Amino acid sequence: MRKAVNGAWQIAPASEVGQDSFPIIESKANAAYSNFKYQGAWYAAKTECFQMSEAPSDAGSESAASGPGLHFAKGGIFVEPKFAFAMMTGSGTSSGTGSSGTIDKYSPSLGWAIKFGYNLSEHTDLFLELNHFAGKRSMTFSSLAATQEDSVTSFNLGYQYFLSTTGTWLPYGELALGYNKLSDKITSSGTTNEYTGSGLGFILEAGVLYDLSSKIALMGALNYTIMNFSELTQASTNTTQQNTTGYSHLGINIGARYEF
Classify the C-alpha dihedral 113-104-199-177 as positive or negative.
negative
- pLDDT (0 to 100) of residue 18: 66
Instruction: Please give the pLDDT value at position 202.
Output: 92
pLDDT at 223: 94
182/105 Cα distance (integer angstroms): 18
Tens digits of pLDDT across the chain (260 residues): 778 777 677 777 777 776 666 677 777 667 677 877 777 787 788 777 766 655 444 444 444 444 443 345 566 899 999 999 888 776 566 555 555 567 777 777 889 999 999 988 878 999 999 999 887 878 776 677 888 888 889 999 999 999 987 778 889 999 999 999 988 888 888 888 888 888 889 999 999 999 887 788 999 999 999 888 878 888 888 888 777 667 788 899 999 999 88
Question: Which residue ranges form the domains of the chain, and what is each CATH number?
Answer: 2-70 (no CATH), 77-259 (2.40.160.20)
CA distance 48 to 31: 11
The pLDDT value given to residue 64: 47
Q: Which amino acid is at 160?
A: Q
Decide: 35 and 1 in contact? Cβ < 8 Å. Answer: no
Q: Residue 255's closest CA among 133, 126, 66, 79?
A: 79
CB count within 10 Å of CB 131 equals 25
| Of 218, 249, 245, residue with least CA distance to 230 | 245
For residues 125 and 214, give the distance between their C-alpha atoms in angstroms, rounded to a whole number: 17
